[in-house]
């Protein structure tokens, strides 16, 4: 079948992404979908990877689905206990037991700060089986949350939670198209993802002002960045502010159809926890390759 103008970017982008992988001496997967044209590209897109903090995206959706059903409110207050506390990313591990925060604030911290303790507080609301049931209902049966974050002693399947690039891409597409939850709750989720504070992977080489809503994940030998990328050549002049009446740039969602960008890795030999980690740099180069390819479409 001859290549058309609408899909001519695919082969060149695939070659460019393949060339990025060898220096990292690890296994990389990419899933990219242009939501305007519907064209998609995948490299190892159906492999399972250690989920790391990317699993917090389905946890967020499960919490918001309970809000949609009326079972809980984002204003409900959650009480921090010793059982919630765990190490790694986030600040709530340092808060006094008995501290209270709203479900909405816990969800924001879970995404924007990747706060592990806040995630465990949210999981009290959603439950682990509840998150997996939502994934099943959305056709994402291979992406699995095994247990609370940083709690290996809890029952559940052996090993880390897992995520499949195409399934994570499906969740992001459903959010972008407002085809799950309600339009307002999709917007709430996207603004939480826009507030992501880790900028050392996908956004690192993008032109200043490029908008992303994304979630990172990191373990030893594992780096992920998954999200939605808006290209300026597709945006109307005005963006719509929808979060809390805020005026911060992160509280704005662009109009126009974004691209889904999923980059996941495992077995990366560079174990440095710095922004110069070669996997983080590679994911940044991959996001720039996608940006450059779609900017011409």
pLDDT score recorded for residue 24: 59
The answer, yes or no, to whether residue 222 has pLDDT greater than 90, is yes
**Do residues 212 and 203 touch, judged by C-beta distance below 8 A?**
yes
Whole-angstrom distance, CA of residue 122 vs CA of residue 245:
24
- What is the pLDDT, as a whole number, of residue 244? 45
Rg (the chain; Cα; Å) = 18
Separation of alpha carbons 97 and 115, rounded Å: 16
Q: What single DSSP character describes residue 87?
A: S
Question: Does the structure show a pLDDT above 90 at 241?
Answer: no
Residues with Cβ within 8 Å of 145's Cβ and at least 6 positions away in sequence, in order, are 51, 55, 58, 59, 128, 131, 132, 135, 161
Span 141-181, pLDDT tens digits: 999 999 999 998 887 888 889 999 999 999 999 999 999 99
**DSSP one-letter code for 97:** T
Whole-number pLDDT of residue 249:
61
Q: What is the pLDDT of residue 235?
A: 62
Find out whether 91 and 63 touch, Cβ atoms under 8 Å. no
The pLDDT of residue 53 is 98
Reported pTM = 0.92
How confident is the model at residue 225, as a pLDDT? 99
Fold of 1-45+198-297: Beta-Lactamase (3.30.450)
Mean model confidence pLDDT for the chain? 91
* Of 241 and 93, more confident: 93
Q: Is the pLDDT of residue 246 over 50?
A: no
Give percent above pLDDT 70 in the chain.
91
Whole-number Å distance between alpha carbons of 118 and 98: 13
* Topology annotation, domain 48-163: Beta-lactamase (3.40.710)
For residue 90, CA distances in Å to 2, 45, 149, 218 come to 50, 29, 12, 13
Q: What are the residue ranges spanned by the domains of the chain? A: 1-45+198-297, 48-163
């Amino acid at each position: 079948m001859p290549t058309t103008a609408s899909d001519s970017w695919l082969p060149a982008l695939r070659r460019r992404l393949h060339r990025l992988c060898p220096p990292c001496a690890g296994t990389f997967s990419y899933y990219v979908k242009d939501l305007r044209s519907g064209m998609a590209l995948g490299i190892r897109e159906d492999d399972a990877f250690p989920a790391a903090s990317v699993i917090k995206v389905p946890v967020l959706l499960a919490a918001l689905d309970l809000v949609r059903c009326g079972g809980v409110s984002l204003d409900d207050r959650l009480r921090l206990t010793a059982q919630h506390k765990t190490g790694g990313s986030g600040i709530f591990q340092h808060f006094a037991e008995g501290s209270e925060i709203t479900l909405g604030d816990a969800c924001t911290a879970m995404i924007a700060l990747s706060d592990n303790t806040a995630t465990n507080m949210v999981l009290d609301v959603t439950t682990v089986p509840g998150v997996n049931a939502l994934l099943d209902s959305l056709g994402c049966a291979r992406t699995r949350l095994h247990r609370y974050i940083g709690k290996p002693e809890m029952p559940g399947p052996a090993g880390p939670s897992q995520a499949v690039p195409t399934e994570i891409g499906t969740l992001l597409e459903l959010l972008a198209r407002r085809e799950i939850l309600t339009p307002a709750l999709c917007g709430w989720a996207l603004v939480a993802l826009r507030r992501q504070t880790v900028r050392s992977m996908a956004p690192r080489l993008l032109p200043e002002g490029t908008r992303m809503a994304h979630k990172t994940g990191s373990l030893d030998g594992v780096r992920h960045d998954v999200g939605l990328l808006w290209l300026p050549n597709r945006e109307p002049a005005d963006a719509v502010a929808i979060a809390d009446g805020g005026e911060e740039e992160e509280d704005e969602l662009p109009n126009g159809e974004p691209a889904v960008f999923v980059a996941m890795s495992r077995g990366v030999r560079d174990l440095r926890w710095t922004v110069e980690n070669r996997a983080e740099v590679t994911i940044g180069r991959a996001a720039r390759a996608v940006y450059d390819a779609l900017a011409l479409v």
